[in-house]
Amino acid sequence: MRVLLSDVAAVRHAARILAAVPGAELVPVAPEGALPETAGVEVAFITRDLFRGGTRYRLTPRFLRFVELLKATPSLRWVQTFSAGTDMAVYQEMLARGLLLTNAAGASAPAVAQTAVTGLMALARGFPRAAAAQRRHAWEPLYSDPEPRDVEGQHALILGTGPIGQEIGRLCRAFGLRTTGMRRDAAAGAPPGFDAAAGFADLPSLLPRTDWLILACPLTEATRNVIDARALALLPPGRHLVNVARGGVVDEAALLAALTSFHLAGAFLDVFAMEPLPAESPFWDLPNVIVSPHSAAASDGLPERVAAIFADNLARWARGETLRNLAR
């Protein structure tokens, strides 16, 4: 069994991979120089080091070099990626080609959920106001009106009930928030981390009772711009939005209008429709917005968690079993 992967991943994860499938042959790809012979390669492992420094709209030369090699490998049958989402065009092309594609759902859940809830608490506790005062060297205690609202008893509506959404729900409940998870199949009930579950058709009835709208769902045709001007208008004034999903889940023009009018009290935004966020974007300078450069998953433990998913899948592949985290 020949496995194509980056030279960095070959060094970092060789022991784990070979422990899972002792007979595997690793075929490393260097960032430059001659490409390896890929005859007989059935499996490829795309790791974050290939993507580092790029965005979904500005892929790195190293990532593109690796993907082009995959395209030129007719024996390839399965690709494991480091990301939880597989909505990027290159991944959709792999699916259209008939390749099996597995994601790393669950690997980034701890870090992404911690980031989302940190953003929530930073907004709840008035950190943007405190940061603005610090830049002005002004001593402005938050006891003045409006004082921060207690989060206990507030309602968090979380779009997406996968591993990330479930961990966000669990952490929100630890702070005393009530949680509703929005999922495709509401009849399946509330997964771990949620007090209740609802379907996307219930969104208009739930938004008027929402304090925190948290987006943690994949970007699909069903979720693209699901939060539009109408949805934002249904939120009561003074509520907040947290987006650790994809920029395309929100109509950004409508979001900008809701924030500049202060209908939305604030937002924590880790993702945007265009990344990097252009320097001229108004989001940078809004006093009620925390901009994060698509870094919610950043964690020194993430590569090992992704490698563990790949090693488990590789063992399944060797045994002819169904793979985990198959993308569709």
Q: Which residues pair with 243 in a beta bridge?
A: 215, 269
**Which residue numbers are catalytic?**
246, 275, 294
Residue 56 burial class via C-beta count within 10 angstroms: exposed 0-12, middle 13-18, buried 19 and up:
buried
- Per CATH, the number for 109-291 is 3.40.50.720
Domains 2-107+299-319 and 109-291 share a fold: yes
Domain boundaries, the chain: 2-107+299-319, 109-291
| DSSP secondary structure letter of residue 60 | -
- Per CATH, the number for 2-107+299-319 is 3.40.50.720
DSSP string, 295-309: -TT--TTHHHHHHHH
217 alpha carbon, distance to own chain's centre:
8
Number of Cβ within 10 Å of residue 175's Cβ equals 15
Instruction: Give the per-residue pLDDT at 328.
Output: 85
pLDDT along the chain (328 residues), means of 10: 98 98 97 96 98 91 97 98 94 96 97 98 97 96 90 98 97 98 90 94 97 96 96 98 97 98 98 96 97 96 97 98 95
Instruction: Give the per-residue pLDDT at 186.
Output: 86
Instruction: Give the per-residue pLDDT at 271.
Output: 98
Instruction: Give the per-residue pLDDT at 144.
Output: 82
